[in-house]
Amino acid sequence: MPEFQRFSYDVLVIGAGGAGLRAAIEAGAAGAKVGVVCKSLLGKAHTVMAEGGIAAALANVDDRDNWRVHFADTMRGGQYLNNWRMAELHAKEAPECVRELEAWGALFDRTTDGKILQRNFGGHRYPRLAHVGDRTGLEMIRTLQDHGIHTGMEVHMECTVLSLLLDGNRIAGACGYDRERGRFQLWDAKAVVLATGGIGRAFKVTSNSWEYTGDGLALAYRAGAELQDMEFVQFHPTGMVWPISVSGILVTEGVRGEGGVLRNSEGRRFMFDDIPDLYKEQTADSEEEGWRYTQGDKNARRPPELLTRDHVARCINREVKAGRGSPHGGVFLDISWIKERMPKSEEHIKRKLPSMYHQFKQLADLDITKEPMEVGPTTHYMMGGIRVDGDSQMSSVPGLFAAGEAAAGLHGANRLGGNSLSDLVVFGRRAGRFAAEFANANGPVTIDEEELQTAATAALAPFDRGPAGENPYQIQYDLQETMQDLVGIVRVESEMQQALDAIGQLSTRAERTGIAGNREYNNGWHTTIDIGNMMVVSEAITRAALLRKESRGAQFREDFPNKDSEWGKYNIVIRRSADGEMQVERRALTPMPDELKKVIEEMK
Amino acid sequence: MATPATFRIWRGNSAGGAFRDYTTAVEEGMVVLDAVHRIQAQQAPDLAVRWNCKAGKCGSCSAEINGMPSLMCMTRLSAIDLNMPVIVEPMHAFPVIRDLVTDVSWNFQAKKTIKQFKPRPPDAADGTWRIQQADVERVQEFRKCIECFLCQDVCHVLREHHKHDEFIGPRLLVYSAALEMHPLDTEDRVSDLRHKHNIGYCNITTCCRQVCPESITITENAIIPLKERVVDRYFDPLKRLFRIL
């Protein structure tokens, strides 16, 4: 019988990106004994890759900004499917969370009067993103990491969670193994926070790291929690498309915020061709006005390059399909043109976008101060996730919380850039606080030893089958191809039905994976666990996308190309039925209080 | 056009190991990590390698490529002579776990021994500070660090002399500098730098600065100013005289 190393906590946080670390810090501050489990080394989570900035209505650059505008922008961006309570709390609490980061050592770029500087971003009415050049995520995760290590949290690095454990219907902790030696671990806990990030690895072209295999979502689903909004997968409009080995790697929206423009192979600035009615009032009608906006003119409206991500991604897709794409299947994103408008543009670009300059120089041998980049859509972010209570972040399983990308609600049908980093700290903090409260109010848990042994036996099965079994890397690759081709930016019923069949077959193959070698840092073995989770999220995305018969936000249905007001009344909620089948249903939105409705009306 | 290339990859664990040759097809635009992944997927499924971002932002895929400490994701194959086998091995300054993965946990433990950030009271009544961009920029250079630990790997005090118990190494000296030069910080780490972290062991060979993938001027901008602070405090004859008086 496999042995387990045992650890005991009040609050167990799974995931050590921005949300997980913020939750752990908060739970620790509330007096809880905190354990953190993460799949990579500390400080390597996907947060490190976030570039543009953190959205918060500090009003340092434009004093017309406040939480009400931020709230309305977020709801509009999410096409009103957002959990309005989360959007409200997020807009109200983000400024405080940014100031908190500064108090812990984060060093944001400054205004001339010494305040935190803010930049323009897609979907935000005013310059709202506090930033550090274009490496804001690194600044945030390092700040949280360096502050966190002095708070007493115990970090279990490079561990994979196999299963969440229940005591009756209540959460009781988790079990998993460490990558280094493959030793099984048990972390019992009175409350668990899932902060495991997204699902981008289910697709072939993605900006996400290897870790983004939907582990938290699959773990929660298996433990009985509900998932929501799974059809809304954000394709970031600008990933690198060349060279092929870097395809998918993100090019920050900050490039467009600083004046970068999108052009097709004919040199046309095509974003002016199709501006949605919802945004007509707020969008520049000339190149001249758009430029003035990016340079801080308060009387100018934003250029169409800064429309929401779903829209920009689809416009790029349209240009490529119409044969007006760049040589490698994208379009051109040009920041170098600003030399026509400003002296010393080279230094300006290097100072404002140092990480992009470096990335293109190193990986594509291209100088962005002199030449345009080739970009195209890349799978970037999951708006959907674990359904949680807007205030406490608790899921439908008592004691199980979720925060950050793993949780659904804040972003509705489409996330605005910059709202992710603020989501992490606002709801990481809330999840940590309420998890500690839950742990305080509830007694110790009992672990079901049989459940532990079942999880360990299942995890070891690929070794029993040996190298003759299915190659897990190949299954992962086939799943990514399936999702990319059949459940991507443009969706249609027949293709999604094909995808469901394919996922079914791949799941069967995934049960026959075989592994050579031993349990020591065996990447092949780790992949067998990841693909099990990827199957769950891929099926959930596809089923939700099939059910939502309309186009809204990140979901574009070729067979239902219009937005349908009837569908605007529902979220799609997924749960596991008693017989293990995936149940998909419409769930009516909670009515919005009148005062919030009024805010939205006023901001139109 | 895909052409075959050979990668000589170190395989083994703490008990020992050896180089093994793998031949795989390489295409235009590939980096070393792409080749390693291709070998892993097709020929060596249990090959151990760390990576996350594949864009030089996370510092996970540190290794030694043809003898040079490098990020596998930022080393383009077009910059390497593929007529010879490409030698890929784990970092030498840290114990091997398996294949290309080393135990870097010492860096995380050593970091905890550095006194944490301690800000001055806020400048404004609303609890915020006022800082000039020029004062931010100096420290932002150090805060670019992605903790790949390549500088630790190449540092002879750690690599050859194994002084991990006495010396924190260039990465953590950069971290100390970021704190010491932070415009809001009020903590004093000078005594620790001299007595606990032995900054004196660094004899400024600049190897660390040369391998830094973020081009941080580790030696000139971080370590030398810290050494100057130590010298000012402990070795300035005038100040010593004042202390005695």
* Per-residue pLDDT tens digits for A289-330: 999 999 989 899 999 999 988 899 999 999 999 999 999 999
Nearest-Cα residue of chain A relative to residue B134: A110
Per-residue pLDDT, A562: 94
Q: How far is B100 from chain A, CA to nearest CA, in Å?
A: 10
With cut-offs at 50, 70 and 90, classify the pLDDT of residue B2.
Answer: confident
| Residue B181: C-alpha distances to residues A415, A497, B38, B81, B235 (Å) | 37, 59, 44, 42, 21
Rounded Cα distance between A341 and A348, Å, is 12
Any B CB within 8 A of A40 CB: yes
In the beta sheet, which residues pair with residue A331?
A375
Per-residue pLDDT, A254: 87
Residues in B closer than 8 angstroms to A140, CB to CB, are none
**Are B31 and A363 an interchain contact pair (Cβ–Cβ within 8 Å)?**
yes
Any B CB within 8 A of A521 CB: yes
Q: What is the DSSP letter of B99?
A: T
Any B CB within 8 A of A118 CB: no
What residues of chain A score a pLDDT lower than 70?
none
The residue among B54, B174, B187 with the most chain A CBs within 10 A of its CB, best to mutate, is B54
Residues in A closer than 8 angstroms to B29, CB to CB, are 242-246, 364
Per-residue pLDDT, A24: 98
Pull the structure tokens for residue A172: 């009781």
Per-residue pLDDT, B230: 96
Q: How many C-beta neighbours within 10 Å does residue A365 have?
A: 12
With cut-offs at 50, 70 and 90, classify the pLDDT of residue B245.
Answer: low
CB A575 within 8 A of CB A386: no
Rounded Cα distance between A584 and A577, Å, is 10
- How far is C-alpha B165 from the geometric centre of its chain's CA atoms? 17
**Are A99 and B127 an interchain contact pair (Cβ–Cβ within 8 Å)?**
yes
* Per-residue pLDDT tens digits for B126-142: 999 999 999 999 999 99
**Are A105 and B185 an interchain contact pair (Cβ–Cβ within 8 Å)?**
yes
Per-residue pLDDT, A230: 98
Lookup result for tokens 């773990």: A219
* Catalytic status, residue A309: yes
* Per-residue pLDDT tens digits for B85-120: 999 999 999 999 999 999 999 999 999 999 999 999
Q: How far is A426 from chain B, CA to nearest CA, in Å?
A: 18
Any B CB within 8 A of A110 CB: yes
Nearest-Cα residue of chain A relative to residue B117: A105
Per-residue pLDDT, A546: 98
**Are A149 and B108 an interchain contact pair (Cβ–Cβ within 8 Å)?**
yes
The residue among A41, A142, A204, A361 with the most chain B CBs within 10 A of its CB, best to mutate, is A41
Per-residue pLDDT, B80: 95
Q: Indicate the residue of A44, A104, A523 with minimum beta-carbon distance to B117.
A: A104
**Are B41 and A42 an interchain contact pair (Cβ–Cβ within 8 Å)?**
no
Q: How much of chain A is in helix, strand and coil states, percent to nearest 5?
A: 40, 20, 40
Q: Indicate the residue of B40, B129, B147 with minimum beta-carbon distance to A523.
A: B40
Q: Which residues lie closer than 8 Å to A298 by C-beta, 6 or more apart?
A: A62, A64
Q: Dump strand ranges (E) for A15-153.
A: 34-37, 54-55, 118-119, 129-130
Residues in A closer than 8 angstroms to B146, CB to CB, are 48, 138
Residue of A256, A309, A519, A552 marked active site: A309
**Are B128 and A472 an interchain contact pair (Cβ–Cβ within 8 Å)?**
no
CB B145 within 8 A of CB A138: no
Mean pLDDT across chain B: 95
Identify the residue with better confidence: B245 or B213: B213
The residue among B131, B137, B145 with the most chain A CBs within 10 A of its CB, best to mutate, is B131
CB A445 within 8 A of CB A190: yes
**Are B182 and A157 an interchain contact pair (Cβ–Cβ within 8 Å)?**
no
**Are A471 and B185 an interchain contact pair (Cβ–Cβ within 8 Å)?**
no
**Are B29 and A110 an interchain contact pair (Cβ–Cβ within 8 Å)?**
no
Per-residue pLDDT, A359: 87
Helix axes A84-103, A136-148, angle to 10 degrees: 70
Nearest-Cα residue of chain B relative to residue A137: B57
Per-residue pLDDT, A1: 74
Q: Indicate the residue of A99, A365, A523 with minimum beta-carbon distance to B47.
A: A523
**Are A149 and B111 an interchain contact pair (Cβ–Cβ within 8 Å)?**
yes
**Are A523 and B49 an interchain contact pair (Cβ–Cβ within 8 Å)?**
yes
Rounded Cα distance between A425 and A430, Å, is 8
3-state secondary structure of A527: helix
Nearest-Cα residue of chain A relative to residue B34: A245
| Mean pLDDT computed over B45-66 | 95
Residue in A137, A143, A126 with CA at minimum distance from that of residue A53: A137
Nearest-Cα residue of chain B relative to residue A528: B45
Any B CB within 8 A of A242 CB: yes
Any B CB within 8 A of A119 CB: no
* Per-residue pLDDT tens digits for A410-443: 999 999 999 999 999 999 999 999 999 999 999 9
Nearest-Cα residue of chain A relative to residue B60: A44
